Amino acid sequence: MICGVRRLSCAELFRVLAFAQLSWRQSLRDIEASLGANRSKLFHMGIGTPPHRSTLADALESRDWRIFHELALRLIARARRLYANSPSVAELEATVYALDSTTIDLCLSLFRWAPAARGTRAAVKLHTLLDLRGAIPVFIHVTPARVPDVRILDMLPIEAGSFYVMDRGYLDYRRLYRIHQAGAFFVTRAKKPMDARRVYSANTFSNVRCQSE
């Protein structure tokens, strides 16, 4: 490993990346310039000498991503414990999750393995399941941009008694029936061809049922 990378600990690399994320930095050069402009404040952020962009590039290429994956899981578990007694959505006692994806643009000349749907740019999709009690991500999965959102339902962990809120991009009856079989509930937008009718209504949201024909 290159000398500069050896001096940059995983903890310090994490702090640099956290600074870049929270301050909306756009590139390694941008991170380097911003850290250099705030040298007098780096001590308070737990950062020593600001790393060069080449050091950051080497560190990101050589460090095992599973170190940060494990840290993220520990932070998520701690955050969910802190928000466990917070009010839920719509006064429901059950946990409510929101599922969606966001597209992250990449440079096509550098990431030829990740072409977007139209093939004119590169991109990946970040699929995220949020616990709305605290807006905490509990499931994150990265795919090429061409992967349809609905396929994420095949690998989504289903928690009995919970509600899963998603848009019409996840409307697939076979996959949604899997959520029903697991003892959970889903809320999604209907598509025009769908033929459905209301069976009955109740005062409490948890007692509302809908039947497809």
Q: Which two tokens stand for residue 153?
A: 């339902």
CA distance 22 to 20: 6
Highest mean pLDDT (candidates 36-50, 170-184, 189-203) = 170-184
- Which residue, among 82, 90, 102, has the nearest Cα to 167 in the 3D structure? 102
* Cα dihedral across residues 59, 63, 69, 72: positive or negative: negative
16: pLDDT confidence band, cut at 50, 70 and 90? very high
CA distance 6 to 23: 26
Confidence check: pLDDT of 207 > 50: no
Top-level CATH class of 66-212? alpha beta
CA distance 35 to 19: 9
Tell me the per-residue pLDDT of 52-91, one tens digit each, with 9 for 90 and over: 999 999 999 888 889 998 999 999 999 989 988 887 776 7
Write the CB contacts of 213 (distance below 8 Å, at least 6 apart in sequence): 195, 196, 197
| Residues 211 and 191: beta-carbon distance below 8 Å | no
CA distance 53 to 40: 19
The model's pTM: 0.76
